[in-house]
Structure 1
Amino acid sequence: MRGHAMRAAVTLGAAVALAAPLTAASATAPTPGDPDPHRHRGGTTVLADCQGQSEVRPGSHLLACGDGNSRLVSLHWGRWDADTAVGRGVNQVNDCDPYCAAGTFRSYPVTVRLEAPTGGHGSGERHFTRISVTYTDGRPDGSPRTVSYPLG
């Protein structure tokens, strides 16, 4: 029972962390040899990371900004346009068993959907304001098949 309560707390913690407002920061144009090919280059809708940096088609994304116990990795985007982005990847979730610092990250295949774009604050940059994660093969204990969170 204690392990189940901890897993539920981690899931709830991830939801709370995602509910915290994020702001999309303006990114500068890339320079030749830019080490970050996913940085925003303007003209498209972006996903803001935990530090408010703009990303387009990121290969990974931290879901639980507060504690890092849930992250999306190995992301491959089949669609990324002004209104919606859809991709596949893996959600790595800490099982927090027996407690989070000693827990194990478990991997679950997922489909990720970004929606509800809005204009940026001051920069005019459009960013997605909602993320939905659908578990396609297994899921963390206590988690529904599809989880949606607001983004800042």
Structure 2
Amino acid sequence: MKVISKRFGELEVDQNAVINFEEGLLGFNSAKQFVLLDVPENPLFKWLQSVDSAEVTFLLVDPFVIKKDYSVKLDDTFLKELEIENKEQVLIYTIVTIPAGGFINATTNLIGPLLINWQRKQGKQIVLEDENLHVRQPLFNPRNKPATSQAAQCGG
């Protein structure tokens, strides 16, 4: 199927790769179908492109790379909602924000992770209640060095 993206132009994607976020994402309730796209030469990041809206694209990161002790506890209601039978079915990403200061000042929202059952192609953004997590967790350490050498290659 063809997907139009403001960032990437016209994309050809497999219909079976479309992930349904029944409730949309926070602040983007009308965008409910997305595809995950690789960031060339940088496996730490993914693009989440809306199938419903060409303007809606998010840069995602694996939060466990940014914060080693990051954890998400899934209750039974959520497991049933996304038809999750085991943890191997779940992909977890957080949304990256790149401020005017550039990618070196990028942050990620550890409080609002995206959980995706990659086998069933169902996703949901949840809100964690943990005072040790931040909405704007820096991707890079305080000395402005990338958390990993690959992180700086992403551009934004």
TM-score (norm: length of structure 1) = 0.30
TM-score (norm: length of structure 2) = 0.29
Larger RCO, structures 1/2 (Cα 8 Å, 6+ apart): 1
